[in-house]
Structure 1
Amino acid sequence: MSLSPFRLRLLVVSLLTVSFIGALDHTVVSTSLATIAGELGGLRLMSWVVVGYTLASTVLLPVLGKLGDVLGPRRVFLSSLVVFILSSLACGFAPTIEWLILARVVQGMSSAGLQLMSQTIIARVTTPRERPRYMAIIGAAFPFAILIGPVLGGAITDYWGWSWVFWINIPVGAAALVLAFIGVPYLECSPGRRSFDVAGATTFTIGLVSLVLAATWVAERSAGTETVVALAVAILGFVLFFYIERQSPEPIVPLRLFANRMITASTALSAIIGVGLFSITAYLPTYFQMSYRTNATVSGLVPMATVFGMLISNLFTGWLASRTGRYRVFPILGTSLGAAGLLGMALLPVGLPIWVPMLVMGIVGIGTGSFMSLIVAVVQSAAPQSQIGTVTATINLVRQVGSTLATAIIGGVIGFGVAVLLPAEVDAASLTPHFVQGAAPSLQTNIAQIYSDVFRPIFIALGITYALGIIAAVLLPPGRLSDEPESSRQTTPETLSA
């Protein structure tokens, strides 16, 4: 569908606004969690305010992607925005932690619809050549939200109260809803009667929820019978899911699409971003507080440098890919930079000035940003028009699942490794940056070396993950993105270049 330049700009502003508030809601809550838990008396369940949101937004991705293909992305997008506004209102009025968790689950479900349909709508109204530039603009909402979310959340909590962390979405969301009604066009669904794969959606949801629960319990070192049961249910759920998908005429994850090398390689690259970078960023501040003996503010500079590099390269490569039509060079260069940066982190000696790891992780961010949004645009160009929502959901899904599972594994490795290596006189349960800063110099040096020794193999493993990404990037078929609208040409699994 072709739009006038003004209508397209209005659409991009609308989608960017909605994507930003959806991404911001994931990051802005982090600094208010302690206050929320204290006022609602829910310290024991505090982590589920975040886990419930993340889990709901992940599980619903393939379901929403399929609904976008069956019902049309405009309907799913507007419905998700309305639900997001109402659930934000409910979060702010939560009288108990259980109420808040339930409202956050609904909010996470609607946020997934906003992020996913924004990408799907852009794919439906642009040519493959235009798509990387607009996808990069929409994709910039996530790193920008990471940069300002924690600071904004802290300021709102301190001056207005934690309820406004959620209520701030209401006026912004209402304005975005008006823009969306005007800017988002009616996009036709595929002709003919379409069915929805209820059995596939059910088994996938059961399998993924069980898998994430098992990984979360293992990371919290509370593994027991319930963890074994959850893992068994996850395995059974996924076995049934793959069997159902092979039989279903309208699967929520069409396995036959993975016969296309473009889709398979792009999906692998998306998973590598989740496993190789998104999983480690949450632990970087702790690493630098313990190994480099910095305060909390200074330790946050390294992930900020990473995200800033990601933001800049995401916008630049999106513009460059649209201008030249070339796409393959960016994932190859990006995964190479990511691998070099993470392996470099493993080699850095403890005690260097903080700007050195900032520079190294900034390089990792630049490498990741160079293909983070681009591969979404590329994989959409390789899929049939009738399955753009589905394939967009799949590539986002593997990134989020990879990040969730790798985050849990890394957390478990750090907790176990530090506890084993600590001197007998130090209690691992009471080990905090404040304790380390007040300890004797010899003990500070010992703990710094312990954290360095624990994190070194983690950085090496993540560097190897990015190195495997180089192979996936090389396997991308060469060619140029087409200038033709996809509705005017036949799209098959192997047609991408014009």
Structure 2
Amino acid sequence: MQLSPLRLRLLVVSLLSVSFLGALDHTVVSTSLATIAGDLGALEHMSWIVVGYTLASTVLLPVIGKLGDLIGPRLVFLTSLLAFLAASLLCGFAPSMLWLVVARVVQGMSSAGLQLMSQTIIAHVTSPRERPRHMAVIGAAFPIAILIGPVVGGLITDHWGWPWVFWINVPIGLAALALAVVAVPHIETSAPRRFDVAGAAWFTASLVALVLAVTWAGDRQAASSAIVAFVVALLSFAAFLFVELRAPEPIVPLRLFANRTIAAGLALSAIIGIGLFSVTAYLPTYFQMAYRTSVTVSGLVPIATVFGMLVSNLVTGWLASRSGRYRVFAISGTGLAAAGLATMALLPAGLPLAVPMLVMFAVGVGTGSFMSLIVTVVQSAVSRSELGSVTASVNLVRQVGATVTTAVIGGVIAAGVAAALPSGFDAATLTPQLVHSAPLAAQSEIAGLYTDVFSPIFIGLAFTYALGVIAAVLLPAGRLPDEQGSPLDAEPLPA
């Protein structure tokens, strides 16, 4: 389907606005959590404000992707936007933590629809050659939300009150809805097909159990619950595979994984979640302890990382649309990120903060160079009738990889610090403020401890990106085709 240049621009603006709302709602709440939990009198359940949103937005991806293929992405997109706005209203009016968590779950479900259908709609209305620059613009919503979300959330909470963190979505969302009704085209779907209810149920059960297991894994009191959840996840996933191999219309078409482009693309997408998204949350703590910075200053490193990702994402999207080349960006990007993370492992504590900022900026540049581009490449390897499903798969492996690895890294840090902490300090009550007020010798010892704990983590993540270089090399060499619906213009791999 070809749109006029004006309508295509309106469509991109609409999709960017809505994608930004969904991404921002994931980050803007972080600085308001303590205030919200205190007002609702449920500090012990504070984490579920985030966990409920993340869990819902992850597990519904394959279901929403399949629905987009069956009933059309326009209907799923508009329905998701209406549900998101309704859930935002309910969040702001929440009189209890249970109400808020349930509303956040609905927000997460609808947010998944917004993000996923935005990418799917662009795939339907543009050729593979045009797609990277448009996908890069929409993909910029996530890094921008990371950059400004916590600050916006803090300002709104301080000046208007925490309900407005959610209510601010409504006027912006209504404007985006009005634009979307005009700009998002009706996209014809293939003949009516059956929805794989059994596959969807087992897949959702396995992912819910897995996310809960990794969430509880770091809590000693919930260790038995984590083990049970892991067992349930394994059994549910086995049942899902059994069902999918026999389903006439599987929710996740397993045969697609035999396609080299799709398999390599999914591996690269997972590596982004495993190799970078997982560690970003821990970088401020690392610099507060190892470099003895303030809380505010420690945030500069993740900001530099995300800024590098944002710039690279936009630049490579534009370059890929001009040249049609995509493999070179994946190879160079994974290589640069691997080198950057290996360098982080070798940096001694006490260097000027500008040094790790520059290194992590390079890691962000490497990741951004193929972050949105790989979605386009994978979409170009399937028919129009499977765009929603394959786009969901790309996003799913990234989010699951980030969720699982975040929990693993948290456990490694907790165990490593507790095992080697100097006498007189308790790992359970250790804070940057406590360390900064300790004698210089103790500060230096703890700084060295955090450097020793994080070094193997950086090495492991660098190795993950090194595997990404192999996956990038396995992508078929060639150019993105100029015509919509054309297969990738593959060239033989060099000997």
Contact map agreement 2:70 2:193 (CA 8 A) in 1: yes
Q: What is the CA–CA distance in structure 2 between the aligned matches of 1:497 and 1:87, rounded to whole Å?
A: 45
Cα deviations across residues 354-412 of structure 1 (Å, max 9, x unaligned)?
A: 00000000000000000000000110000111000000000000000000000000001
Contact map agreement 2:85 2:173 (CA 8 A) in 1: yes
Does residue 83 (structure 1) correspond to residue 83 (structure 2)? The answer is yes
SS of aligned partner of 2:95: coil
Per-residue deviation, 1:223: 4.1
Contact map agreement 2:53 2:109 (CA 8 A) in 1: yes
Q: What is the CA–CA distance in structure 1 between the aligned matches of 2:490 and 2:261, rounded to whole Å?
A: 12
Per-residue deviation, 1:430: 1.2
Structure 2 counterpart of 1:339, one-letter code? A
Cα deviations across residues 67-126 of structure 1 (Å, max 9, x unaligned)?
A: 000000000000000000000000000011111111000000000000000000000000
Q: How does 1:156-171 map to 2 (within 5 A)?
A: 156-171=156-171
Per-residue deviation, 1:212: 1.1
Q: How does 1:152-191 map to 2 (within 5 A)?
A: 152-190=152-190
Aligned to 1:328: 327
Contact map agreement 1:221 1:412 (CA 8 A) in 2: no
Structure 2 gap ranges (5+): none
Contact map agreement 2:307 2:361 (CA 8 A) in 1: yes
Cα deviations across residues 251-300 of structure 1 (Å, max 9, x unaligned)?
A: 11100011110000000000000000000000000000000000011000
Q: What is the CA–CA distance in structure 2 between the aligned matches of 1:415 and 1:326, rounded to whole Å?
A: 43
Aligned to 1:63: 63
Contact map agreement 1:381 1:496 (CA 8 A) in 2: no
Contact map agreement 1:220 1:412 (CA 8 A) in 2: no
Which deviates further from its counterpart, 214-223 or 150-159?
A: 214-223
Aligned to 1:403: 402
Superposition TM-score, scaled by structure 1 size: 0.98
Per-residue deviation, 1:497: 4.5
Aligned to 2:131: 131
Structure 1 counterpart of 2:431, one-letter code? T
Contact map agreement 1:273 1:368 (CA 8 A) in 2: yes
Contact map agreement 1:24 1:142 (CA 8 A) in 2: yes
Q: What is the CA–CA distance in structure 1 between the aligned matches of 2:375 and 2:126, rounded to whole Å?
A: 13
Q: How does 1:222-371 map to 2 (within 5 A)?
A: 222-371=221-370
Q: What is the CA–CA distance in structure 2 between the aligned matches of 1:251 and 1:385, rounded to whole Å?
A: 16
Aligned to 1:21: 21
Q: What is the CA–CA distance in structure 2 between the aligned matches of 1:369 and 1:224, rounded to whole Å?
A: 36
Which deviates further from its counterpart, 59-68 or 441-450?
A: 441-450
Aligned to 1:112: 112
Superposition TM-score, scaled by structure 2 size: 0.98
Query: C-alpha root-mean-square deviation of aligned residues, in Å?
Result: 0.9
Q: What is the CA–CA distance in structure 2 between the aligned matches of 1:271 and 1:408, rounded to whole Å?
A: 15
Per-residue deviation, 1:214: 1.0
Q: How does 1:477-496 map to 2 (within 5 A)?
A: 477-486=476-485, 489=486, 491=487, 495-496=488-489
SS of aligned partner of 1:479: strand
Aligned to 2:454: 455
Structure 1 counterpart of 2:171, one-letter code? P
Structure 2 counterpart of 1:78, one-letter code? L
Aligned to 2:203: 204
Per-residue deviation, 1:424: 2.6
Q: What is the CA–CA distance in structure 1 between the aligned matches of 2:360 and 2:398, rounded to whole Å?
A: 20
Per-residue deviation, 1:27: 0.4
Per-residue deviation, 1:236: 0.3
Structure 2 counterpart of 1:340, one-letter code? A
SS of aligned partner of 2:76: helix
Does residue 2 (structure 1) correspond to residue 2 (structure 2)? The answer is yes
Per-residue deviation, 1:496: 4.4
Aligned to 2:144: 144
**What is the count of residue pairs matched by the alignment?**
491
Cα deviations across residues 444-467 of structure 1 (Å, max 9, x unaligned)?
A: 011111111110100000000000
Structure 1 counterpart of 2:200, one-letter code? A
Per-residue deviation, 1:144: 0.5
Q: What is the CA–CA distance in structure 2 between the aligned matches of 1:227 and 1:323, rounded to whole Å?
A: 49
Q: What is the CA–CA distance in structure 1 between the aligned matches of 2:96 and 2:192, rounded to whole Å?
A: 44
SS of aligned partner of 2:220: coil
Contact map agreement 2:476 2:490 (CA 8 A) in 1: no
Q: What is the CA–CA distance in structure 1 between the aligned matches of 2:84 and 2:490, rounded to whole Å?
A: 38
Q: What is the CA–CA distance in structure 2 between the aligned matches of 1:152 and 1:378, rounded to whole Å?
A: 34
Structure 2 counterpart of 1:47, one-letter code? S
Per-residue deviation, 1:193: 2.4
Q: What is the CA–CA distance in structure 1 between the aligned matches of 2:398 and 2:219, rounded to whole Å?
A: 22
Q: What is the CA–CA distance in structure 1 between the aligned matches of 2:365 and 2:52, rounded to whole Å?
A: 30
Per-residue deviation, 1:15: 0.3
